[in-house]
Structure 1
Amino acid sequence: MRIGELARTTGTTPRALRHYEQAGLITSRRAGNGYRVYDQAAVVRVRNIRYLLDVGLTLDDARAFLPCLDGDMAAAPPSEAGLRIAFDRLAVLERRIAAQTEARDRLAGALRQATGRNVRTVA
């Protein structure tokens, strides 16, 4: 199948598919006209990549799951390596959230001080 069909089938974009290919997560062959052609197995692989990205992992994280990308990742029991990657990513996200919360609170405080108005923040 060509890149547009794979994009439609998997709910992604051709640009994202080219990015996954550049990252070494999927492969294609070139047709005589130069178009990228993917086999049917790419559908499962792309859906698994999307699953990993949707739960908060990065493409670099997903690379560690290469041996598993062709199966049913959502239903498979997690491996120790996979759990370690997920826990590490969760720690990174928690640190980012804490830093953003601090920045929001400093900005709200500065606005309160500058305007004398109570600034409402979403907690």
Structure 2
Amino acid sequence: MDNTTTTTELSLFEKIGGMDAVLAAVDIFYAKVLADETIKDFFDTTDMVAQKRKQTAFLAYAFGAPLQYTGKNMRDAHAPLVEKGLNESHFIAVATHLKDTMEELNVPAELIAEVMKIAGGTKNDVLGL
């Protein structure tokens, strides 16, 4: 008898609850972002329906969903915001809202740490560094 077992490691996307969880997170996240006086002006001319759709696709992809992300890269997508003054304090504010969103959704701390590692890995591109 063969005692080997095959285990498939779940992606972060699956661990946090799949597309339903990502959709909920994006809604809560943008409510926080748009209520934040320090960053909301960056979204003054943004089509938020389209923005939420892009953010959902990006997060799902970044978290390991089995789909292709076809949006702009982080550097190109954020270049106009950098020209408007986007800086590290704004990045930290957004990251904090993402962390708070995950906590509000009762995502386990170890998964939040994974989310924040992914978010932190985008900093240089987002800020054009």
Q: TM-score normalised by the shorter chain: which range applies?
A: under 0.3
**Bigger-Rg structure (1/2):** 1
Normalised by the size of structure 1, how large is the TM-score?
0.27
**Which has a greater percent of helix?**
2
Which of the pair has the greater relative contact order for Cα pairs under 8 Å at 6+ separation?
2
